[in-house]
Amino acid sequence: MSLAVSRGLNVAVPLLFESSLPGLCGTRSAPHRFDEAAYDGRLGGLHRCDTIGLPELSEPQVMRHFVTLSAKNYCIDTGIYPLGSCSMKYNPRVNEKVARLDGLANIHPNQPEGTVQGILQIMYELGEALKAITGMADITLTPAAGAHGELTGLMAIKKALSEREERGRNIIIVPESAHGTNPASAVMCGFKVVSVQANKEGTVDMDVFKAILEKYEGKVAGMMLTNPNTLGIFEGEIKNMADLIHEQGGYFYMDGANLNALMGNALVDDFGVDAMHINIHKTFSTPHGGGGPGGGPVVFSELLAPYCPIPKVVKNPDGSYHLMDEADAPDTTLGRVKGFAGQVGLMVRALAYIKAMGAEGLTQASRDAILNANYLQHELTEGGLTAPFEGPNMHEFVLSDHYLKGTSVTTMDMAKGLLDAGHHPPTVYFPLVVSGAMLIEPTESEPLTSLDRFAGDLIGLADKAHGCQDDTCEMKSSPTLTPVRRCDEVGAAKNPVLRWVKPRGVDL
Ligand SMILES: *Cc1c(COP(=O)(O)O)cnc(C)c1O
């Protein structure tokens, strides 16, 4: 890996420890000496004898360090973030304003119910809004992310099967184009995954699906289907699949992470869904990235509603709100899947978004997301890039690397080239079923000028790629304008360096 270097105003930032100059200090305090006699015995002789080794820096140095780092954050407030399957949409500032209100930001989950009626009402109204958007019977707001919602939904399915004394049903059918979290959640929940292939239109192959149902008759616990799927295509046979699964005694789980293409335009209840998670950090504009916090509410059909986790806000006949928990929940509940009531700050933001947009606004948002994706796909394929499926697409679309045939350039080189052009690259090499995939999701946040600039730069790179026949090609060494160049991403993920170790001979 190349070392970080400063270029122009793009400044490399060493660690605070590496910048430390012994003796520098941002504050002035009276010298403190550890009085051993005073503490004698009380620490069992375990008191620290040497210095802690904190970096020593002046206040301006510390300020520059953190401000420079903060300015390196590429984010949706900086530019297009077309990461497919992630719905990186703008996070309206009104959400932040509401979440920071004193009465919402400074409350504690252990406060008496009578003192937190406002937040309980917000949670209740968010639940009702999400039920209205999906048409489903019940909801839990507590799961902390999409994958956590999947696990919660599958746990409800497992519990329902065990109440029916059908513990032998242990197979979950998952299309091969599914998000990686689907099979992972199923396995974590103790199920076996049987995968089903896509046809040439990019949707579930119904013949293969029916053959699987026949082969595993009496063993199918359910199916997990992403819709629109991870190729950005609507699974038109979804109701048929749900009916066939139900006929066989299984439950139908829909991965609702792509709700940004559906809200206001379709009710998932009409698809025959029994459980579905919603990523509020995608569809409902709460911030995400960098590992959280997220929000993965799960909606349930009548069939699975009895297993809904607690705690859950209910409305009393007198109009007040109550957080139902172990003390008064039905015995069928799954119980808790998260501490306290979940990521409540995100629930506030999601409801602020829903209220600001209104039903019409949400419907328009998903239509604009679909329009933006189809426009961008059209521009890119007109410009010579290749899409493996004809479309039309929903809110995202996939490109294959077919257009790079005969060149030495790969999808990764294209993504790195986009960095030099000042764009965040799309998701690459996912879904796995498309060669050298680029999964592009512009979202409704992008104005036409931004879509055009992105398309122009990507087409420009594709044109340049046609002149590249070997590894001496300039495109193989992009990015050239970033402080770090090609990183060993796999190494960084597998062997993260989480601790700074003082190099030998350095005096700190
Ligand atoms: C994002 C996503 C998930 C996982 O959601 P997290 O909140 O990241 O756990 C699952 N399925 C699909 C289709 C997604 O896009």
pLDDT in tens, 299-321: 999 999 999 999 999 999 999 99
pLDDT lower than 50: segments of the chain = 1-2
Amino acid 143: pLDDT:
97
- Please tell me whether the peptide bond between 317 and the residue prior to it is cis, using omega within 30 degrees of 0: no
- 147 CA distance to ligand 1 middle (Å): 6
Amino acid 40: pLDDT:
65
Q: Where does 95-354 sit in CATH, by number?
A: 3.40.640.10
Number of helical (H) and strand (E) elements in the chain, helices listed first:
14, 12
Q: Where are the domains of the chain?
A: 95-354
Amino acid 386: pLDDT:
98
Amino acid 250: pLDDT:
98
- 205 CA distance to ligand 1 middle (Å): 23
Burial 1-25 (b: 16+ CB within 10 A, else e): eeeeeeeeeeeebeebbebbeeeee
Specify the ligand 1 atom closest to the Cα of 178: 13
- 181 CA distance to ligand 1 middle (Å): 7
Asked if 451 and 386 count as a contact pair (C-beta separation under 8 A), the reply is no
- 131 CA distance to ligand 1 middle (Å): 20
Pocket test for ligand 1, best of 83, 254, 279 (most atoms within 8 A of CB): 279
Residue ranges around ligand 1 (CB below 6 Å)? 85, 145-147, 179, 181, 226, 230, 255, 257-258, 279, 294, 296
Pocket test for ligand 1, best of 152, 226, 255, 258 (most atoms within 8 A of CB): 255
Asked if 178 and 146 count as a contact pair (C-beta separation under 8 A), the reply is no
Amino acid 2: pLDDT:
44
* Total Cβ atoms within 10 A of residue 50: 5
Give the integer Cα–Cα distance in Å for 74 and 406.
Answer: 33
Residues in the chain: 508
Q: Give the CA radius of gyration of the chain.
A: 26
pLDDT in tens, 445-478: 999 999 999 999 999 999 999 999 999 999 999 9
Global pTM value: 0.91
- 154 CA distance to ligand 1 middle (Å): 15
Closest residue to atom 7 of ligand 1, CA basis: 146
